[in-house]
Structure 1
């Protein structure tokens, strides 16, 4: 049987978000304009955005047996995402992201991994043995690298296509390029992995990523859109300018939209266009993932239903 559906494997956090005011004192004291708690983490953000198109998406991750874990579970239930792949960790707390957003919408984060740090290769093995393989698996580097390696290896052996978001980038990131069918990263991450200057030409970067093992490298360029090598094609897509409110989750929503469009058989350039619009929408508001209303807007922009490949091609 041909694998179907999308599975996101990796990190979930409770994000504690402070919106910082414009004034900072000489002692480093800043007054915030707002505070909120949100379900987050790269994997949860991607899964939530995918669920706006396909609620059958699955999420495999760890949370603590605490109030923050309950908050994560309730958020997933509200979106209709099954929580059978969520492991309750009795040894530690749910992962936390302490996020500060500046007046320009850019952010920095202190991540306390908590249960994410205990996400293990054995967890991958247990899930694989109990479930049918998905068509696509989405990974990132917010959980231990041995777990990412095991997930990429096991799911590929079972026929799943592996999409790896090479973020947050670290010393061993380059060694993972060959383990994925599609690798997504931003300009700064690409230059770090390849150890080249930030002004390196985009096509040069993509070619170097492919030579290093990335079968289909996808390079997000912020306001410059996206560029990729897909087969023999150099693919680019622009993005409309937007006022940035909060850039948390923009890359994750880009990733989730691209993958769910690919899983539903859409042409790769259309997948990138839809993903660009998803990232743009999320940048323009506090929430870090897509809604069903966002999906309808994206479908208007690209001219097809993301969940239906029978029209518009």
Structure 2
């Protein structure tokens, strides 16, 4: 039987987000305009975006046995996502991301992994003992690399399509390119992995990523949209400009929308257009993932339903 569904494996954090003011203060003291606490982490953001259309998405990872872990599981349940794949870790606190967003919407983050750092290959095996493999599994590098390797290998062996977000980039990231069916990264990450200048031509980058093992490499280009190599075809999609408020979850929402469209068997160019619009929408506000209203907007922009035509709405 062909696998169905989407599973996101990896990181769950509580994001403590400080929005900086426009004025630069002296003596390393900066005054903020606003503060928010939000459920975050690359895997959680992607799962939340997918759940905007498909609440059956599963999320596998670790949180601490603390109030922040309760905050995350509560946010997941509120969105309709099951928490049965979430391990409560008695030996570590819930992961925390300390995020600072400047007036231009750009951010820097200090991530304290906490329970994410204990996510292991054994956790992947334990999940698969009790669950059928999904049609798609979504991974990133925000948990230990041995767990990522194990997940990519096991899920792929069981017939899942593996989508890997090569972020945050590591020195060993190049070794993972051949473990996934689709590899997504931004321009800076690609240049780091290949050890080439930032000025390298995008088609050459994609070709080099393919030669390094990436079956379908996808490059996000910020205001330049997205470019990918699908089979022998160079696929590109532009993106409309938007006033950036917070770019923290843009890449994760891009990933979620792309996988959602792929899982519903849309042509790859449509998947990239949906992903582009998802990333653009999330950049325009503080929340780091898509809402059901966003999915309707994306469908109106594309002129197609992101759900399968036979499934209806």
- TM bucket, shorter chain: over 0.9
Q: What is the rounded CA distance, in whole Å, between the counterparts of 1:177 and 1:310 in structure 2? A: 34
1:120 matched to 2:132: no
Q: How does 1:128-207 map to 2 (within 5 A)?
A: 128-207=128-207
Aligned-residue CA RMSD (Å): 1.0
Residues 1:75 and 2:65 aligned together: no
Structure 1 gaps, min length 5: none
**1:291 counterpart = 2:303:** no
Partners of 2:213 and 2:47 in 1: how far apart? 26
Query: In the comparison of the two structures, how many residue pairs are matched?
Result: 312
1:207-231, CA deviations, whole angstroms, 9 ceiling, x for partnerless residues?
Answer: 0000000000000000000000001
Residue 186 of structure 1, CA deviation: 0.1
Secondary structure of the structure 1 residue equivalent to 2:265? coil
The whole-number CA distance in structure 2 between the counterparts of 1:97 and 1:117 is 13
Question: Displacement, 1:26?
Answer: 2.8
Give the drift of 1:310: 4.4
Q: Which residue of 1 aligns with 2:219?
A: 219
Contact 2:166–2:185 (8 Å) recurs in 1: yes
Deviations 1:166-221 (A, max 9, x none): 00001000000000000000000000000000010000000000000000000000
Following superposition, the deviation at residue 111 of structure 1 comes to 0.1
Instruction: Confirm or deny: 8 A CA contact 1:277 1:298 kept in the other structure.
Output: yes
The answer to whether the 8 A contact 1:136-1:263 is kept is yes
| Conserved? CA contact 1:64–1:92, under 8 Å | yes
Asked if 1:260 is matched to 2:260, the reply is yes
Correspondences of 1:75-114 after superposition (within 5 Å): 75-114=75-114
- Alignment deviations for residues 2-53 of structure 1 (CA, whole Å, 9 cap, x no partner): 0001000000000000001112223111000000100000000000000001
**C-alpha distance in 2 between matches for 1:132 and 1:170:** 30
Secondary structure of the corresponding residue to residue 8 of structure 1: strand
Hey, what does 1:32 align to over in structure 2? Answer: 32
In structure 2, what is the Cα distance between the partners aligned to 1:145 and 1:23? 40
Q: Secondary structure at the match of 2:125?
A: helix
Partners in 2 of 1:284 and 1:141 — Cα distance? 25
Deviations 1:63-101 (A, max 9, x none): 000000000000000000000000000001000000000
Matched, 1:242 2:216: no
Name the counterpart of 1:51. Answer: 51
TM-score normalised to structure 2 length? 0.99
**Alpha carbons 1:250, 1:279 under 8 Å: kept:** yes
Q: Which runs of 5+ in 2 are unaligned?
A: none
* 1:89-137 superposed Cα distances (whole Å, 9 cap, x missing partner): 0001000000000000000000000000000000000001110000000
Task: Name the structure 1 match of 2:301.
Answer: 301
C-alpha separation between the residues in 1 aligned to 2:30 and 2:10? 33
Deviates most, 22-31 or 9-18 = 22-31
Does structure 2 conserve the Cα–Cα contact (< 8 Å) formed by 1:152 and 1:180?
yes
Q: CA deviation at 1:266?
A: 0.4
Asked if 1 retains the 8 angstrom alpha-carbon contact of 2:25 and 2:31, the reply is no
